Amino acid sequence: MHEPGFDDDDPREPEFKVDGVSGSFSWTTDYYHNDNAFTMTDFLENHLPDDVEIYLEDGSYAEIRIANTNYALDAKGNGDSYNHIVEWNVV
């Protein structure tokens, strides 16, 4: 399952987009994530736009900056090791 507007025929990964002061981003992989730190790494490497600054990364937690606004991110499983979710809030 991908974010709304994601085209399953498009080989690119779905991209994180900020909407409001909090929210979540979920995606599915065809490979196993062994822990939430791996999920965060996958998210940071494959789902952020190029203009996002990552200024703190600590296992399943990270903080990023987009247009002078800081966001806290928390990676989790979403039912099993193939479905993932990152929840975010303004800090």
Residue 16: both structure tokens together: 């994180």
- pLDDT value at 3 more than 50: no
Q: CB of 84 within 8 A of CB of 29?
A: yes
Q: What is the pLDDT of residues 44-90, one digit of tens each?
A: 999 998 889 999 999 999 999 998 899 999 999 999 999 999 999 99
Instruction: Tell me the residue ranges of DSSP E strands in 6-82.
Output: 22-28, 53-58, 61-66, 69-77
Q: What is the pLDDT of residues 18-41, one digit of tens each?
A: 777 899 999 999 999 999 999 999
CA atoms 28, 82, 90, 56: torsion sign: negative
